[in-house]
Amino acid sequence: MYGAVNLDEATRHFEAFKEQWNPKYAYAIKSWEANWQYLTSFFDFPQEIRKIMYTTNAIEALNRNIRKFIKTKSIFPNDQAAVKSVFLAIEQVQRKWTMPVRNWALVLNQILIKFEIQS
């Protein structure tokens, strides 16, 4: 579904998936159907942005590292201290990143257009 070109194609893939797996995973499929509008909201974005959105390994790794960094802090005196800790965690993790996002210039342009950001 995530690799589909558009929402119609994703719906066709889901229907085929549902035919095959509904007997075994009826509850999960019912949940997907009930939340279909939310699960497919990423089709509102250009394909270049969608690829980054559903390729979650990098995002999950970043979240894991942020949690690891702030886990030792039991309380923050204020919101600014919490934001600063997250910033420092990202700075630390960023040093380890070696693989650039494929076609980043194109993705960045799509983000700027979609969110009407002035560069």
Digit-coded pLDDT (tens) for 72-89: 777 888 889 888 988 988
The pLDDT, as a whole number, for residue 17 is 94
DSSP type of residue 43: G
Confidence of residue 92 (pLDDT cuts 50, 70, 90): confident
In the chain the first and final C-alpha atoms are separated, in Å, by 33
The token pair that represents 11 in the structure block: 């719906």
Q: Which residue has the tokens 């979650």?
A: 56
Which residues lie closer than 8 Å to 43 by C-beta, 6 or more apart? 6, 7, 10, 50
Contacts for 48 with CB less than 8 Å, ≥ 6 apart: 103, 106, 107, 110
- Supply the pLDDT for residue 99: 73
Confidence of residue 55 (pLDDT cuts 50, 70, 90): low
Residue with the bigger pLDDT between 90 and 96: it is: 90
